[in-house]
Amino acid sequence: MRIRSLLAALVGITVLVALVVLVAGQLPGPRGPGTPVDRDSPPPATAPLAAGTDPASWAGETARGTGIPERTLQAYANAELKQRERTPECGLSWSTLAGIGRVESRHARIDGADPGTDGRVEPPIVGIPLDGSNGTRRVADTDGGRLDGDPVLDRAVGPMQFLPETWARYGTDGGGDGVADPQQVDDAALAAAGLLCAGERDVTDGDDWWDGVLGYNASGSYAREVWSAAADYAQRTPEPGPQRR
């Protein structure tokens, strides 16, 4: 009787697991349809935002479908438009910036952070000390702790997770307030765009897209994760409308 009861319990557990797997397979995951990563191509992207698009209005209409917080999505759109003015040959889409933002900080929401209406993240997002452990390389302090509060080692900062030395090179004022701040989403997104488009890249080309993202973080698994997220956001988004300033 005990053996029979155990067998019945095991059968019940097996059926329950099968049902969970079946149901899970029918539920939309955080990455939507899961387009297979293509190492030779950039991720699918929406058509470029029209010149004159108001990032705030566009984000207000688009945020729900993507699951991206509206203020952060506005920053990605703003960065696409401004980067196109700076390097029109790059062809960067907001969806690639969104892919990076998702992986780096869950769109500026990691660990309870929240971008205010001014785009500044509170509390500030500061990564772990880069001391060479946990698969990181050791990076000695480069800014006296000004950005990351650490006078000994560098830490990645802000929603797009810039090292202080990288921010010194690419940091820019994307929000138009006269200050380049890695904790402000407009500034961080435009700085990321500048890094991805550096070296006269055309990120509509597969090799240049992968080179740009690997230049951001030299990890194949990281680049594949960004590719999948960017493709998903593009597929969730309708073609841009005629919003104007």
Cβ partners under 8 Å of residue 154, min gap 6: 129, 130, 139, 140, 141, 142, 143, 148, 163, 164, 165
The percentage of residues in the chain with a pLDDT greater than 90, rounded to a whole number, is: 78
Confidence of residue 39 (pLDDT cuts 50, 70, 90): confident
With CA atoms as reference, report the closest residue to 73 among 81, 62, 84: 62
Structure token pair of residue 66: 């993507």
Residues facing 153 on adjacent strands: 140
- Three-state DSSP at 237 gives coil
Distance CA 96, CA 86 (A): 17
- Which pTM does this prediction carry? 0.83
- Cβ contact 82:174 at 8 Å: yes
pLDDT given for residue 35 in this prediction: 75
Mean pLDDT of 176-182: 97
Which amino acid appears at position 125 of this protein? I
What is the structure's pLDDT at 122? 98
Taking the C-alpha atoms of residue 180 and residue 172, their distance in angstroms, rounded to an integer, is 5
* Spatial CA neighbour of 126 closest among 158, 168, 100: 158
**Residue 241 scores a pLDDT above 50:** no
Q: What is the pLDDT of residue 136?
A: 86
What's the pLDDT tens digit per position in 161-171?
Answer: 999 999 999 99
In the prediction, which pLDDT does 172 show? Answer: 98
Q: Is the pLDDT of residue 27 over 80?
A: no
Peptide bond preceding 123: is omega within 30 degrees of 0, i.e. cis?
yes
Least confident of 24-28, 42-46, 78-82, 145-149: 24-28
Name the residue ranges covered by the structural domains of the chain: 55-119+173-236
Residue entry with tokens 């029109």? 88
Pick the range with the lowest mean pLDDT from 14-18, 36-40, 56-60.
Answer: 14-18
Q: Is the pLDDT of residue 244 over 60?
A: no
Check residue 239 and give its pLDDT.
Answer: 65
The dihedrals phi and psi of 59, each to the nearest 5 degrees, come to -65, -35
